[in-house]
Structure 1
Amino acid sequence: MKLGVFAVLFAQKPFEEALDYIASKGLEAVEIGTGGYPGDAHCKPDELLADAGKLKAFKQAVESRGLIISALSCHANPLHPQKALAQADDATIRKTIELANRLEVPVVNTFSGCPGDHEDAKYPNWPVAPWPNDYQEILKWQWEQKVIPYWSDINNVATEAGVKIGLELHGGFSVHSPATLLRLREATGKAIGANLDPSHMWWQGIDPVQAIRILGRADAIHHFHAKDTTIDPVNVNMHGVTDMQSYTQMLDRAWQFRSVGFGHDLKTWADIISELRLVGYDYVVSIEHEDGLMSVEEGFSKAVQNLQQVLIREPLGEMWWV
């Protein structure tokens, strides 16, 4: 496995300065934002696709520092009921797939998106209860009319480009759990898989180790984010796991994102890394920092220190004792 980072953490730094900093920490990979929610501070798809010289220089800037690009990421909502928003996000995803093909990057990460509840809706509607039955009707319409048709097309586009799609299982979007990811993959194609982030499993009450086992058996893990979560044992009884308070209300929230090792101990993270190896995932573990108690530099550095202790780097050898 290789240790990497989602480089949008360092969007305020010039691209090559950010790469120097990342390489100085002993990392081997970068995940780069190309638009959508992560922004495109370090990577402008239109510019790179239009200029072969800029494309070559971009790739060389990464490779000259001993790094690889693990994924291009454009997390967005291409199913947004407001058509202008959906079209812009769809265009970003398609350009990112094309750019990944040109850069020989194997994975594009994004969200599944979430539609509204009918054709004239203005806002996404995320059904999370089977009753009243209205929610079942909304869910059926969303999947049959929006989710499956859209991602069937993108699966074909990605397959043609030789690129995999890593959907982050994130609350608020149609694909947010192992079951919803596998449902979409079954309906669309094998280019669709997970960008698995344990932090979103924990707050939903899902054991990430078991999520890895479920998705790994289906060969459905295309990329992996390293981020932690802590559940407040008092506040969760007040607000539940679907707590709608701002992330800034850390003292009162039911759960919050933390840097690796500050929500769960290193034995838990060792179990996660071991399970990834067990199901055959030997690609990049990409650090994502969204810890409201630490600066970017400190949260990132501590995540690196903690993951370095549990990451399994070397290829499997013979079982000499068998």
Structure 2
Amino acid sequence: MKLGVFMVLFGGRSLEEALDYVASQGLDAVEIGTGGNPGDKHCKPDELLANETALKNFKKAVESRGLTISALSCHGNPLHPQKHLAQADHETFHKTVQLAEKLEVPVVNTFSGCPGDHEDAKYPNWPVAPWPNDFQEVLKWQWENKIIPYWSEAGKFAADHHVKIGLELHGGFSVHTPATLLRLREAVGEVIGANLDPSHMWWQGIDPVQAVQILGRAGAIHHFHAKDTTIDPINVNKYGLTDMQEYTNMLDRAWQFRTVGYGHDVKTWADIISALRLVGYDYVVSIEHEDGLMSVEEGFTKAVHNLRQVLIEEPLSEMWWV
């Protein structure tokens, strides 16, 4: 496995400055935002697709520092019921796939999106309960009329460009659990896989090791994020895991994101890494730091230190003791 970082963390630095810093920390890979929620500070698809020289210089900037690009990321909501918002994210996704092909990047990360509850809806509707029965009707309509049709076309587009889609399992979007990812994968094909982030498993009450096992046995992990979560044992009893308080209200929230090792111990992360190796994932572990208690540099360097202790980097060898 290789250690990488989601470069949105260094949006305050130029591409070259950020790459220099990442390389100085001994990392192997970078994940770069191309628009949508991650923004396009370090990578503007329109400019790179229109200018072959700029494209070559961009690729050289990464490779000359001994780094590779693990994924291009354009997390958005291409299923948003407001058509202009959906169209913008859809176009960003298409351009990102085209750019990934040119850069020989194998994965584009994004969200599945979440539609409304009917054609004239204004806002997304995320059903999370089977009763009242209205929610079941909404869910059925969404999957049959929006989610599967959209991703069937998007999946074909990505496959035609030799790119895999890593959907981040994130609350608030239609694909947010191993089961919903596998449901879409069954309908669309193997081009669909997970950008699996343990932090979003923990706050949904899902054991990330088991999520790795479930998805990994199906060959459905295309990329992996390293981010932690802590659940407050008192606040969770007041607000529940679907706590709607702002992330900035850290003292009262039921859960919050932490850097690797500050929500769960290193042994837990060793179990996650071992599960990844067990199911055959031997690609990049990409650090995403959204810890409100730590600076950019401190949260990042602590994640690097903690992951270095458990990352399995050497190729598998024969079982010499058998």
TM interval, short-chain normalised = over 0.9
For each residue in 1:116-167, what CA deviation from the matched residue of structure 2 results, as whole angstroms up to 9, or x when unmatched? 0000011000000000000000000000000000000011011111100000
Which residue number in structure 2 is paired with residue 287 of structure 1?
287
Which residue number in structure 2 is paired with residue 105 of structure 1?
105
Which residue number in structure 2 is paired with residue 127 of structure 1?
127
Q: Structure 2 matches for 1:131-142, cutoff 5 A?
A: 131-142=131-142
For each residue in 1:194-230, what CA deviation from the matched residue of structure 2 results, as whole angstroms up to 9, or x when unmatched? 0000000000000000000000000000000000000
Q: Cα offset for 1:81? A: 0.2
Q: State whether structure 2 residue 48 is matched by structure 1 residue 48.
A: yes
Which residue number in structure 1 is paired with residue 161 of structure 2?
161
Q: Aligned equivalents of 2:154 and 2:209: distance in 1?
A: 29
Q: Cα offset for 1:315? A: 0.1
Q: Aligned equivalents of 1:77 and 1:295: distance in 2?
A: 29
Q: Cα offset for 1:270? A: 0.2
Q: Aligned equivalents of 1:103 and 1:248: distance in 2?
A: 37
Paired residue type of 2:258: R
Sequence identity (%): 80
Q: Structure 2 matches for 1:161-200, cutoff 5 A?
A: 161-200=161-200
Which residue number in structure 2 is paired with residue 251 of structure 1?
251
Q: Aligned equivalents of 1:181 and 1:71: distance in 2?
A: 19
Consecutive unaligned residues of structure 2, counting only runs of 5 or more, are: none
Paired residue type of 1:227: K
Q: Aligned equivalents of 2:218 and 2:316: distance in 1?
A: 21
Q: Cα offset for 1:243? A: 0.1
Q: Cα offset for 1:84? A: 0.1
Q: Cα offset for 1:320? A: 0.5
Q: Cα offset for 1:107? A: 0.2
Q: State whether structure 2 residue 86 is matched by structure 1 residue 66.
A: no
Q: Cα offset for 1:50? A: 0.2
Q: State whether structure 2 residue 246 is matched by structure 1 residue 268.
A: no
Q: Aligned equivalents of 2:282 and 2:193: distance in 1?
A: 15
Q: State whether structure 2 residue 17 is matched by structure 1 residue 10.
A: no
Q: Aligned equivalents of 2:26 and 2:309: distance in 1?
A: 13
Paired residue type of 2:46: D
Q: State whether structure 2 residue 141 is matched by structure 1 residue 144.
A: no
Paired residue type of 1:11: G
RMSD: 0.3
Q: State whether structure 2 residue 235 is matched by structure 1 residue 235.
A: yes
Taking structure 2 as the reference length, the TM-score comes to: 1.00
Q: Cα offset for 1:313? A: 0.2
Consecutive unaligned residues of structure 1, counting only runs of 5 or more, are: none
Which residue number in structure 2 is paired with residue 87 of structure 1?
87
Paired residue type of 1:51: N
Q: Aligned equivalents of 1:230 and 1:14: distance in 2?
A: 32
Q: Aligned equivalents of 2:231 and 2:10: distance in 1?
A: 27
Taking structure 1 as the reference length, the TM-score comes to: 1.00
Q: Aligned equivalents of 2:82 and 2:155: distance in 1?
A: 23
Q: Cα offset for 1:106? A: 0.2
Q: Aligned equivalents of 1:319 and 1:161: distance in 2?
A: 39
For each residue in 1:30-59, what CA deviation from the matched residue of structure 2 results, as whole angstroms up to 9, or x when unmatched? 000000000000000000000000000000
SS in 1 for 2:201: helix
Paired residue type of 1:189: G
Which residue number in structure 1 is paired with residue 96 of structure 2?
96
Which residue number in structure 2 is paired with residue 314 of structure 1?
314
Paired residue type of 2:165: I
Q: Following TM superposition, where does structure 1 have runs of at least 4 consecutive aligned residues deviating by more than 4 angstroms?
A: none
Paired residue type of 2:160: E
Q: Aligned equivalents of 2:26 and 2:69: distance in 1?
A: 15
Which residue number in structure 1 is paired with residue 223 of structure 2?
223
Paired residue type of 1:83: K
Q: Cα offset for 1:169? A: 0.1
